[in-house]
Amino acid sequence: MDLKSHIRGVPDYPKPGILFYDISPLLAHSDAWAVAMGRMARLIQETGVDFIVGIESRGFLMAAPLALKLGLGFAMVRKKGKLPGDVVRHSYDLEYGSDTVEIQADLVKPGQRVVVVDDLLATGGTMNAAIKLLRDVGADVRAAAFLIELDFLEGRKKLDVPVLSLLNYD
């Protein structure tokens, strides 16, 4: 199945000059979503991880079905202030200002072999912050996995773990 035919390029979103890759048509097509999750699950299986982490919010739409499919636990990395109880946080710089990601402190066990999942790799800033956060809680981050990778932005150069991606755009 040609999964790219279910990804919609939206020009000038969220800002003029940006081409946004919209995954909504893929999610709206149950076969396409299932095929995508099957292919990503196979890539992840080869890494030997035992836990899945998803990045808010579209990353959850990949990570949760992958966790169920692979029979693994799942935890959420969220923007600050959205998770209850004890959290660990990591702040990172953006083009303008900064942002903070959080995870609940007790979900990932020290030494646990983790894959971090998001829908799309652009500059790599978001994934890099999530990986640092996970290392702060003692995780052994084995891979970063994406449905889509924007090759021209070279985000994988920012990541010091193997990068798995299903659909690549130049």
Which residues contribute to the site for ligand 5GP (CB under 6 A)? 20-21, 23, 55, 58, 118-126, 155
3-class DSSP string for 56-93: CCHHHHHHHHHHHHHCCEEEEEEECCCCCCCEEEEEEE
Neighbours of 34 (CB within 10 A): 13
CB of 143 to ligand 5GP, least distance (A): 16
**Annotation says 102 is catalytic:** no
Point out the catalytic residue in the list 46, 58, 149, 154. Answer: 58
CA atoms within 13 A of residue 9's CA, in its CB half-sphere = 8
Which DSSP letter does residue 109 get?
P
Point out the catalytic residue in the list 56, 95, 154, 156. Answer: 95
For residues 91 and 100, is the Cβ–Cβ distance under 8 A? yes
Q: Which of residues 48 and 168 has its CB atom nearest to ligand 5GP in the complex?
A: 168
CB of 19 to ligand 5GP, least distance (A): 7
**Annotation says 149 is catalytic:** no
CB of 122 to ligand 5GP, least distance (A): 3
CB of 111 to ligand 5GP, least distance (A): 26
Q: Which of residues 80 and 109 has its CB atom nearest to ligand 5GP in the complex?
A: 80
User: What distance in Å separates the CA atoms of residue 52 and residue 72, rounded to the nearest whole number?
Assistant: 7
**Within the chain, what is the greatest distance between any pair of CA atoms?**
43
Measure Cα distances from 49 to 90, 136, 140, 143, 152 in Å: 23, 18, 9, 8, 28
Q: Which of residues 65 and 155 has its CB atom nearest to ligand 5GP in the complex?
A: 155
Catalytic sites, residue numbers: 58, 95
